[in-house]
Amino acid sequence: MPERLALGFDIGGTKIAAGVVDEDGRVLARRGTETPSTDPMAVLDAISTITEELRSDHHVRAIGIGAAGFVDATGSTVLFSPHLAWRNEPLRDAVARRTRLPVLVDNDANASGWAEWRFGAAQNEPDLVLITLGTGIGGAVVIDGQPYRGRYGLAGEFGHMQVVPDGLPCECGNRGCWEQYASGRVLTRRGREAAASGTELGRRLLDAVGGDPEAVTGRQVTAAAEGGDEEAVAWLADVGDWLGVGIAGLAAALDPGVVVIGGGVSDAGELLLGPAREAFSRTLTGRGYRTEARIVRAHLGPEAGLVGAADMARLTARRRRQASPGARVRVRAAGRSGRSPRRRR
């Protein structure tokens, strides 16, 4: 049905992914482009262009945007994005004016967490913690079937919990943040160091990227580990160990039934999750006397953000329509006549 479709955007530092999503979480059409990261107006133009293209073939009723940044509690403003030029950007209202559609804006990790809870790895679980492992660490929390955003909308920034006092410097300005030890940046850093120093693994990594040490990323390290390289396997195990330690801390605070691991680093599968589960069990408070959360890999992959954003927007728009004075009048009239209210088009 046309009213069941929403348009979801996942806007990151390097690319914009968009799709038309139905009420079962299926992506019916897709678009993508590079993110014009230095120009907020150019990002708005890209959103408008993609919306126009996808609306030409689909009856979209709402737009959801998963934004890589801090989104305020009202879901209207991107307060800050480390990888984009958004600074107190009134994104919701700007997109709504351009498209004349209801718009919802949330953090991209929150959108991914909602998608995994609704359609993915955490279905039938009341509580979820999502951890997204990429260059850094993002996160989301669902409690009793509701996304938890915190008082100011900024909950879920797990990557900046301090796990090593006076540890490695972080881009946020602090030291010893979790993402400096349990994210893709660890694999990238070690891979580039090995490439620059000329170790056996480093030479293979250099060959994979055409000879430039700065071109080495965590993906090449993961590929080497999947190919059986013992050093690369050990690096992934180290990341998994730190991941499990951090999850134990989150479990002590939130006690979820399931912890879902997403993001590009999760492509390593059991090379990462096996060590993470071991470290989690080893360091969990009350271990041996409590039920442990399951640690599982995300199911929806890179489309989780746009699927979750679209679903959030669709449900929010539906609730607002049902709560509108006109809808209440129609419901009362239908009750008196015994007929169902006609759906507005």
- Give the pLDDT of residue 326: 61
Residues of the chain by 3-state class (helix, strand, coil), percent to 5: 45, 20, 35
Query: Do residue 148 and residue 89 come from a single domain?
Result: no
Query: Do residue 217 and residue 316 come from a single domain?
Result: no
Query: Do residue 102 and residue 142 come from a single domain?
Result: no
Query: Do residue 96 and residue 164 come from a single domain?
Result: no
Q: Tell me if 338 is assigned to some domain.
A: no
Helix H or strand E segment including 262:
strand 258-262
Q: Tell me if 333 is assigned to some domain.
A: no
Query: Do residue 207 and residue 263 come from a single domain?
Result: yes
Query: Do residue 142 and residue 262 come from a single domain?
Result: yes
Q: Tell me if 118 is assigned to some domain.
A: no
Q: What is the largest CA-CA distance in the chain?
A: 82
Query: Do residue 44 and residue 109 come from a single domain?
Result: yes
Query: Do residue 273 and residue 286 come from a single domain?
Result: yes
Report the number of distinct structural domains present in the chain: 2
Q: Tell me if 148 is assigned to some domain.
A: yes
**What parts of the chain have a pLDDT lower than 50?**
1-2, 328-345
Query: Do residue 195 and residue 77 come from a single domain?
Result: no
Alpha helices per DSSP H over the chain: 40-55, 91-99, 108-119, 184-197, 200-209, 218-226, 230-254, 270-283, 304-323, 325-337
Q: Tell me if 313 is assigned to some domain.
A: yes
- Give the pLDDT of residue 7: 98
Q: What is the CA radius of gyration of the chain?
A: 22
Query: Do residue 257 and residue 191 come from a single domain?
Result: yes
DSSP string of 178-238, one letter each residue: GGGTSSHHHHHHHHHHHHHHT-HHHHHHHHHHTS-GGG--HHHHHHHHHTT-HHHHHHHHH
- Give the pLDDT of residue 173: 86
- Give the pLDDT of residue 258: 97
- Give the pLDDT of residue 342: 37
Q: Tell me if 341 is assigned to some domain.
A: no
- Give the pLDDT of residue 340: 38
Q: Tell me if 73 is assigned to some domain.
A: yes
Query: Do residue 182 and residue 282 come from a single domain?
Result: yes
Question: Whole domain around residue 63: which residue ranges?
Answer: 2-113+302-328
Query: Do residue 187 and residue 291 come from a single domain?
Result: yes
Q: How far is CA 204 from CA 43, 133, 199, 298, in A?
A: 38, 24, 9, 30
Contact 111, 309 (CB under 8 A): yes
CATH number for the domain spanning 217: value is 3.30.420.40
Q: Tell me if 262 is assigned to some domain.
A: yes
Q: What is the pLDDT of residues 176-208, one digit of tens each?
A: 999 999 999 999 999 999 999 999 999 999 999
CB atoms under 10 Å from CB of 295, counted, come to 22
pTM for the predicted model, two decimal places: 0.87
Strand partners for 7: 20, 63
